[in-house]
Structure 1
Amino acid sequence: MKIQLALDRMEINDAIDLTRKVEDSIDWIEVGTSLIKEFGMTSVREMKQAFPAKTIVADLKTIDNARYEFEMCFKAGADVATVMGVSPLVTIDACMEVAEQYNKIVMIDLLNTTEQQKRDLMKYKKAVFCEHVSKDQQEELGTSNHGAVEDNLYGPNMTIAAAGGITLDSLELLRKTLNPSIVIIGSAITKAENPAETAAKFKRVEAK
């Protein structure tokens, strides 16, 4: 299980400084949607320059204009870029084609997708599928539970990620229900009193 650090709602330099404190305990670095919206591809470029050996995820949440946006991310140094699962399939087709061209990875964000939409997306065998509880759902409704995935939904060789309000306390249950290959951790680390210590605790859970 890999740990993806989600960096949102901060300055680029602050994101880099925080990541340096925890880099030994994380695997992937997510340049969050808010950083990209505020600072553009500069945020992706500077993060890759600061951590060239890490996998950089551009959480662009593309829903249209896929070729342009994915090429922009990959040229800036991203190794992974995200597309919304509710996008038209032609959009996701384009994302997959661009990723293959650049030898990069597509992460499909399943936020607000129906069960049928998820099934339609299963044809993208090389993608990462992200089960995502939204920030608004966490903050406005106070829920962060990830539903259990049907046994027959994902094939054995497919890669699953989980995002949204994951804590040390919820991680064990998440492993039992979803068993993701990638866990995306944001505020549990970034807002911790001691981010390095907290990230190390997540790493110890990951290693079990």
Structure 2
Amino acid sequence: MALPKLQIALDNGVLSEALASISQVGDEVDVIEAGTILCLAEGMEAVRCLRALYPEKTILADTKCADAGGTVAKNCADAGADWMTVICCATIPTMQAALKEVQDLQVELYGDWTFELAAKWKQAGLTQVVYHQSRDALLAGETWGEKDLAKIRRLVEMGFKVSVTGGLEVETLPLFAGIDVFTFIAGRGIRDAADPRQAAREFKAEIARIWG
């Protein structure tokens, strides 16, 4: 079982704030995400800046693309993104068109997706999915539970590289012990910490302890 990666989600609404955040933790994480909010607010300039600052890191554009996959993905790739996200309700042709333009594509699992649909993604060549506890669900009081872990295990068994996100803290990570998680995606749990660099290091240390 490989060591899970650590991804920082930059969901800042202003590029200058995102750059201030990443300057504290960019060297500590494996994947740098230009979050949906940041992409909507600042466009592909956010991706260009992250690529210029971190030429050796994996850069993800979290577009949650629903249509025009090839065009959106080409824009992301031209700006320097390695990976991009599509929303699970996008058509398979949209996903395949996007996958032709970027190194890899993540399918964001929201709403009423099914395992039958996931099997079709796999057949179409998609290999990454992101399992969410959404921000709105967390605000409504939902927490990680066995129902989530069972779905993640099944996706892993189907052959997907599964990333997980949504209110993750260092204390949350032991819940996933024994599961072949591809990437843990943390946002506010790192960005809003009193010492973001130390918070990222604590995430990495706990990942190494559990999966090392």
Same fold by TM-score greater than 0.5: yes
Residues 116-165 of structure 1, C-alpha deviation per residue, up to 9 Å, x if partnerless? 322332324553111111111112x1223160235554347531111111
What are the within-5 Å matches in structure 2 for residues 1-208 of structure 1? 1-99=4-102, 104-112=103-111, 113-139=113-139, 141-145=140-144, 147-149=148-150, 151-155=153-157, 158-176=160-178, 178-208=179-209
Q: Distance in 1 between matches of 2:66 and 2:198?
A: 36
Identify which range, 120-129 or 82-91, moves more after superposition.
120-129
Deviation at 1:198, TM superposition (A): 0.9
Q: Distance in 2 between matches of 1:152 and 1:192?
A: 33
Gaps of 5+ in 2: none
Q: Structure 1 residues 152, 21: closer, same or farther in 2, change over 3 A?
A: closer
Q: Look up the SS of the partner of 1:107 in the other structure.
A: strand
Given that residues 125 and 158 in structure 1 are in contact (C-alpha distance below 8 angstroms), is that contact kept between their aligned partners in structure 2? no
RMSD between aligned alpha carbons? 1.8
Given that residues 57 and 78 in structure 1 are in contact (C-alpha distance below 8 angstroms), is that contact kept between their aligned partners in structure 2? yes
Given that residues 127 and 159 in structure 2 are in contact (C-alpha distance below 8 angstroms), is that contact kept between their aligned partners in structure 1? no
Residues 49-85 of structure 1, C-alpha deviation per residue, up to 9 Å, x if partnerless? 1111111000000011111101000000001000011
Deviation at 1:47, TM superposition (A): 1.0
Q: Distance in 2 between matches of 1:137 and 1:83?
A: 20
- Give me the TM-score of the superposition, normalised by structure 1: 0.89
Q: Look up the SS of the partner of 2:150 in the other structure.
A: coil
Count of matched residue positions in the alignment of Structure 1 and Structure 2 = 202
- Give me the TM-score of the superposition, normalised by structure 2: 0.87
Q: Distance in 2 between matches of 1:58 and 1:83?
A: 10
Q: Structure 1 residues 145, 40: closer, same or farther in 2, change over 3 A?
A: same
* Identical residues among aligned pairs (%): 27
Q: Look up the SS of the partner of 2:180 in the other structure.
A: coil
Residues 82-141 of structure 1, C-alpha deviation per residue, up to 9 Å, x if partnerless? 001121122112122233xxxx111111122233322332324553111111111112x1
Q: Distance in 2 between matches of 1:43 and 1:95?
A: 19
Runs of 4+ with >3 A deviation:
149-158
Given that residues 12 and 18 in structure 2 are in contact (C-alpha distance below 8 angstroms), is that contact kept between their aligned partners in structure 1? no
Q: Look up the SS of the partner of 1:182 in the other structure.
A: strand
Given that residues 83 and 92 in structure 1 are in contact (C-alpha distance below 8 angstroms), is that contact kept between their aligned partners in structure 2? yes
